[in-house]
């Protein structure tokens, strides 16, 4: 799912090889913290104004600057468990840890792509969000509502302009 957003802040993780981008999206999403994979080492804890992030498009790398307007491919990664929930439970997500991409999600499955990926509808994020499961999709069925934890990943798709 491609979404347009403005990078408000970049925080380097303790490994120095990935980070968190605080991104303000123009639609219903608002401001969320997203995982970004970096293509080189940065000082852990640093809050740089610009980083080089990995992307499948844009020749493998994109320079991300604070203030830049970017189209991001939004997905959920690092899902290592899930459970079925009732149809009465609301769909949506919350990020309970400040400055973290860790996210608690209630979703409805609309496609099981293979043994490790599925597309889900997540209120507030959108429809057809790619969800990557580390444990496999098991016996998940289309139309099933599930609860899981993961990280919202924002992979640069197109860097539009810098607003600073």
The per-residue pLDDT for range 146-157, each reduced to its tens digit, is 999 999 999 998
Q: Which of 13-22, 60-69, 99-108, 123-132 has the lowest mean pLDDT?
A: 60-69
pLDDT band at 160 (very low <50, low <70, confident <90, very high): low
The pLDDT value given to residue 90: 96
CA distances (Å), origin 131, targets 37, 43, 65, 69, 113: 17, 29, 26, 24, 10
Residues 6+ apart with CB under 8 A from 98: none
* Residue labelled with tokens 């639609």: 27
Q: Read off the pLDDT of residues 83-104 as tens digits, 9 standing for 90 and up.
A: 999 999 999 999 999 999 999 9
pTM: 0.92
pLDDT at 161: 53
Three-state secondary structure call for residue 58: helix
């Amino acid at each position: 799912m491609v979404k347009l957003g403005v990078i408000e802040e970049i925080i380097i993780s303790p490994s120095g090889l990935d980070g968190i981008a605080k991104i303000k999206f123009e639609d219903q999403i608002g401001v969320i913290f997203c995982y970004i994979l970096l293509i080189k080492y940065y000082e852990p804890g640093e809050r740089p104004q610009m980083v080089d992030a990995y992307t499948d498009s844009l020749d493998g790398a994109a320079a991300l600057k604070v203030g830049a307007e970017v189209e991001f491919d939004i997905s959920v990664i690092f899902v290592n468990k899930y459970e079925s929930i009732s149809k009465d439970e609301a769909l949506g997500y919350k990020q309970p840890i400040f400055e973290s991409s860790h996210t608690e999600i209630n979703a409805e499955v609309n496609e099981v792509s293979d043994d490790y990926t599925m597309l889900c509808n997540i209120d507030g994020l959108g429809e057809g969000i790619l969800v990557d499961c580390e444990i496999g999709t098991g016996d998940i069925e289309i139309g099933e509502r599930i609860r899981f934890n993961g990280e919202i990943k924002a992979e640069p798709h197109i860097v539009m302009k810098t607003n600073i």
